[in-house]
Protein backbone atom coordinates (compact mmCIF):
# COMPACT_ATOMS: atom_id res chain seq x y z
CA UNK A 1 0.00 0.00 0.00
CA UNK A 2 2.85 2.39 0.69
CA UNK A 3 3.89 2.31 -2.97
CA UNK A 4 0.31 2.81 -4.17
CA UNK A 5 -0.15 5.84 -1.94
CA UNK A 6 3.37 7.17 -2.34
CA UNK A 7 4.75 9.57 -4.93
CA UNK A 8 4.81 7.94 -8.36
CA UNK A 9 7.07 10.35 -10.23
CA UNK A 10 10.02 10.12 -7.89
CA UNK A 11 9.27 6.73 -6.34
CA UNK A 12 10.11 5.63 -2.82
CA UNK A 13 13.28 4.31 -1.24
CA UNK A 14 13.38 1.16 0.91
CA UNK A 15 13.83 3.25 4.07
CA UNK A 16 10.71 5.30 3.32
CA UNK A 17 8.66 2.17 2.68
CA UNK A 18 10.03 0.59 5.87
CA UNK A 19 8.92 3.56 7.96
CA UNK A 20 5.39 3.51 6.51
CA UNK A 21 4.94 -0.25 6.75
CA UNK A 22 6.80 -0.91 10.03
CA UNK A 23 8.50 -3.90 8.37
CA UNK A 24 12.19 -4.67 8.64
CA UNK A 25 14.50 -3.61 5.82
CA UNK A 26 15.08 -7.26 4.73
CA UNK A 27 11.31 -7.89 4.70
CA UNK A 28 10.69 -4.79 2.56
CA UNK A 29 13.49 -5.77 0.17
CA UNK A 30 12.08 -9.29 -0.11
CA UNK A 31 8.59 -8.01 -0.96
CA UNK A 32 9.99 -5.49 -3.44
CA UNK A 33 11.87 -8.26 -5.25
CA UNK A 34 8.66 -10.29 -5.57
CA UNK A 35 6.75 -7.26 -6.87
CA UNK A 36 9.55 -6.40 -9.30
CA UNK A 37 9.73 -9.99 -10.61
CA UNK A 38 5.96 -9.87 -11.13
CA UNK A 39 6.40 -6.60 -13.10
CA UNK A 40 4.15 -4.71 -10.69
CA UNK A 41 6.83 -2.21 -9.70
CA UNK A 42 9.85 -0.73 -11.43
CA UNK A 43 13.14 0.58 -10.09
CA UNK A 44 14.83 3.85 -10.99
CA UNK A 45 18.49 4.04 -10.02
CA UNK A 46 20.28 7.26 -9.11
CA UNK A 47 23.87 6.40 -8.32
CA UNK A 48 23.67 3.99 -5.40
CA UNK A 49 20.07 4.88 -4.55
CA UNK A 50 17.07 2.88 -5.80
CA UNK A 51 13.60 4.39 -6.11
CA UNK A 52 10.64 2.02 -6.36
CA UNK A 53 7.28 2.89 -7.92
CA UNK A 54 4.36 1.17 -9.59
CA UNK A 55 5.27 0.06 -13.08
CA UNK A 56 3.43 2.28 -15.56
CA UNK A 57 2.31 -0.78 -17.53
CA UNK A 58 1.11 -2.87 -14.60
CA UNK A 59 -2.51 -3.73 -14.05
CA UNK A 60 -2.23 -2.33 -10.53
CA UNK A 61 -1.22 1.07 -11.95
CA UNK A 62 -4.18 0.91 -14.35
CA UNK A 63 -6.47 0.14 -11.41
CA UNK A 64 -5.02 3.06 -9.41
CA UNK A 65 -5.62 5.38 -12.37
CA UNK A 66 -9.21 4.13 -12.70
CA UNK A 67 -9.88 4.74 -9.00
CA UNK A 68 -8.42 8.25 -9.30
CA UNK A 69 -10.70 9.00 -12.26
CA UNK A 70 -13.75 7.71 -10.36
CA UNK A 71 -12.80 9.94 -7.41
CA UNK A 72 -12.62 12.95 -9.73
CA UNK A 73 -16.02 12.07 -11.19
CA UNK A 74 -17.58 11.85 -7.72
CA UNK A 75 -16.04 15.18 -6.73
CA UNK A 76 -17.43 16.75 -9.92
CA UNK A 77 -20.91 15.32 -9.20
CA UNK A 78 -20.81 16.58 -5.60
CA UNK A 79 -19.84 20.07 -6.79
CA UNK A 80 -22.73 20.17 -9.25
CA UNK A 81 -25.16 18.87 -6.63
CA UNK A 82 -24.04 21.55 -4.20
CA UNK A 83 -24.38 24.27 -6.86
CA UNK A 84 -27.87 23.04 -7.78
CA UNK A 85 -28.93 23.04 -4.13
CA UNK A 86 -27.69 26.61 -3.66
CA UNK A 87 -29.50 27.78 -6.83
CA UNK A 88 -32.77 26.18 -5.72
CA UNK A 89 -32.79 27.90 -2.32
In Å, how far are 15, 47, 76 from 2, measured between CA atoms?
12, 23, 27
In Å, how far are 12, 50, 75, 89 from 64, measured between CA atoms?
17, 22, 17, 38
- Encode the chain (89 residues) as per-residue pLDDT tens digits: 565 555 556 788 898 889 888 999 999 999 999 988 888 888 889 999 999 988 777 777 777 788 888 999 999 888 888 887 887 77
Give 50's strand partners.
45
What is the reported pTM? 0.59
Amino acid sequence: MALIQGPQKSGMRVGEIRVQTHLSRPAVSHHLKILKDAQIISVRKEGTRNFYRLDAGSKLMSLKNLVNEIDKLFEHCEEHATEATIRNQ
